[in-house]
Structure 1
Amino acid sequence: MENESPYPRCQVDASWVTNSPFSGGGFVLELAPGTVTYGSIGMDQTMSPMHAEFTIFLYAMKNSLQLGVTSMSFESDCLQLNEFTHLLSLFTVFSISFIARERNVRADFLAKGARSKNSIFSHVDSVIPGWLVHKANIFILN
């Protein structure tokens, strides 16, 4: 027998296919047994299935809050979202905050440099990657 989730719960899913101008998303919000709200959205095609899944996840969260529900168990069959929640649970303190682009110059520079390499690779080190050393002055913060 499948393990039933506690209430309230919200199941989310996205539909994404290659070469389509649209993606879709849906959610089923169960506040209690027999009390169900259904939601769906059609949206412009997203960059990936993960983006579509995250978009419907945010949509479901907003709708839950509009209904005054601030305690929720979200469920998804998207493995990347499940990996995110698992990793999130391993932190003793976790926060996400917005910073202005001009305060995010180093990470932005690394991202653009990685994209311009046109290859699949990974680099994690306390040293600036050799292919970016010629522009290392960007890493000096004022």
Structure 2
Amino acid sequence: MITIPDDWPAFAAEFNEFKTLWASYQDGQVVYKDRSRNTKADFLARQARIRKRVFSYVNTSVPHWIDTRNSTFTDSY
């Protein structure tokens, strides 16, 4: 997808924005984290898929409307 951007015209705008943002992070790193080591992000992503809607949330706590009873990390709130 990245090597032949013409094959993915819908991705072109996002990729250009990514390159612009990436340039502002001179010392930045992209690091892969396994889902088992990033449980909060994985939980939020699963909740978004279940609800079939997109949401963004930046905070140190989970929104009150997410049911955390079945979460494996409920003690971390």
TM-score normalised per structure 1: 0.41
Aligned match of 1:98 in 32, 41, 46?
A: 32
Identical-pair percentage? 28
1:14 aligned partner: 7
1:138 maps to a residue whose letter is F
Deviation at 1:11, TM superposition (A): 6.8
**Distance (Å, rounded) in 1 between the aligned partners of 2:30 and 2:53:** 29
CA distance 1:81–1:103, change in 2 (3 Å): same
**Distance (Å, rounded) in 2 between the aligned partners of 1:94 and 1:12:** 23
1:132 aligned partner: 66
- More helix by proportion, 1 or 2? 2
Could you list the per-position Cα deviations for residues 74-120 of structure 1 after superposition, in whole angstroms to 9, with x for gaps in the alignment? xxxx1111000001011131111223331121111110011212234
2:42 maps to a residue whose letter is D
Provide the aligned C-alpha RMSD in A.
Answer: 2.7
**Distance (Å, rounded) in 1 between the aligned partners of 2:43 and 2:37:** 12
**Matching of residues 37-76 of structure 1 within 5 Å:** 49-50=10-11
2:18 aligned partner: 84
Structure 1 residues not aligned, in runs of 5+: 1-9, 17-48, 51-77
- More strand by proportion, 1 or 2? 1
**Distance (Å, rounded) in 1 between the aligned partners of 2:5 and 2:53:** 33
Aligned match of 1:114 in 48, 52, 56?
A: 48
